[in-house]
Structure 1
Amino acid sequence: MIKDSLNNTNVAAERVLVSPAEFKRRFPVPARGEETVWAGRQVIRSILKGADHRFLVVTGPCSIHDPEAAKEYALRLKQLHDELGDTLFIVMRIYFEKPRTTVGWKGLINDPRMDDSFAIEEGLSQARELLLWLADLGLPAATEALDPISPQYLADLFSWSAIGARTTESQTHREMASGLSMPVGFKNGTDGGLTVAINALQSVSRPHSFLGINQAGQ
Structure 2
Amino acid sequence: MPDQDTLPTPGEVAADHVVATAVARHRETVAAVLARRDPRLLVVVGPCSVHDPAAALDYAHLLATAAERLSDDLVVVLRAYLEKPRTVAGWTGLLPDPTLDGKGDIAAGLRLGRTFLLAAAATGLPLAYEFVDPMLAHYVADVVTWGAVGARTVASQPHRHLASWLPMPVGMKNCVSGRVDTAVDAIRAAGLPHAFPGVAADGRLTTLRSAGNPDAHLVLRGGPTPNYHAADVAAALAALTAAGLPARVVVDASHGNSGKDHHRQPGVVEDLAGQVADGNRALVGVMIESYLSDGRQDAGAGTPRPDLSVTDACLGWDRTVPLLETLARAAARRRATG
User: TM above 0.5, one fold?
Assistant: yes
Q: Which residue of 2 aligns with 1:194?
A: 180
3-state SS, counterpart of residue 176 of structure 1: helix
What per-residue deviation string (whole Å, max 9, x for no partner) do you get for residues 96-119 of structure 1?
011101111110011101112211
Q: Which residue of 1 aligns with 2:195?
A: 209
Q: Find the aligned partners of 1:51 and 1:164 in 2 and give their Cα distance.
A: 26
3-state SS, counterpart of residue 44 of structure 2: strand
3-state SS, counterpart of residue 151 of structure 1: helix
Q: Which moved more, 1:13-22 or 1:161-170?
A: 13-22
3-state SS, counterpart of residue 178 of structure 1: helix
Q: Which residue of 1 aligns with 2:48?
A: 62
Q: Find the aligned partners of 1:195 and 1:214 in 2 and give their Cα distance.
A: 33
3-state SS, counterpart of residue 185 of structure 1: strand
1:18 aligns with 2:18: no
For residues 24-103 of structure 1, the aligned pairs below 5 Å read 24-25=14-15, 28-30=16-18, 33-103=19-89
3-state SS, counterpart of residue 89 of structure 1: strand
What per-residue deviation string (whole Å, max 9, x for no partner) do you get for residues 70-116 of structure 1?
01110110011100000000000011011101111110011101112
Conserved in 1, the CA contact under 8 Å of 2:96 and 2:104? yes
Q: Find the aligned partners of 2:100 and 2:110 in 1 and give their Cα distance.
A: 14
Gaps of 5+ in 1: 4-11
Q: Which residue of 2 aligns with 1:178?
A: 164
3-state SS, counterpart of residue 134 of structure 2: coil
3-state SS, counterpart of residue 52 of structure 1: coil
Q: Find the aligned partners of 1:65 and 1:135 in 2 and give their Cα distance.
A: 17
Conserved in 1, the CA contact under 8 Å of 2:51 and 2:94? yes
**Higher share in strand:** 2
Q: Find the aligned partners of 1:209 and 1:116 in 2 and give their Cα distance.
A: 34
Q: Find the aligned partners of 1:88 and 1:169 in 2 and give their Cα distance.
A: 31
Alignment partner for residue 115 of structure 2, among 126, 129, 134?
129
What per-residue deviation string (whole Å, max 9, x for no partner) do you get for residues 120-160 of structure 1?
11111111111111222111100001111112111100001
Q: Which moved more, 1:13-22 or 1:138-147?
A: 13-22
Identical-pair percentage: 42
For residues 109-188 of structure 1, the aligned pairs below 5 Å read 109-188=95-174
Residue 29 (structure 1) shift: 2.4
Q: Find the aligned partners of 1:148 and 1:78 in 2 and give their Cα distance.
A: 29
Conserved in 1, the CA contact under 8 Å of 2:97 and 2:103? yes
Conserved in 2, the CA contact under 8 Å of 1:36 and 1:139? no
Give runs of ≥4 in structure 1 deviating > 4 Å: none
Residue 35 (structure 1) shift: 3.0
Q: Find the aligned partners of 1:72 and 1:160 in 2 and give their Cα distance.
A: 21
Conserved in 1, the CA contact under 8 Å of 2:151 and 2:175? yes
3-state SS, counterpart of residue 209 of structure 1: strand
Conserved in 2, the CA contact under 8 Å of 1:65 and 1:112? yes
Residue 36 (structure 1) shift: 2.6
Q: Find the aligned partners of 1:187 and 1:19 in 2 and give their Cα distance.
A: 30
Amino acid at match of 1:17: L
Q: Find the aligned partners of 2:98 and 2:120 in 1 and give their Cα distance.
A: 19
Amino acid at match of 1:107: G
Conserved in 1, the CA contact under 8 Å of 2:13 and 2:114? no
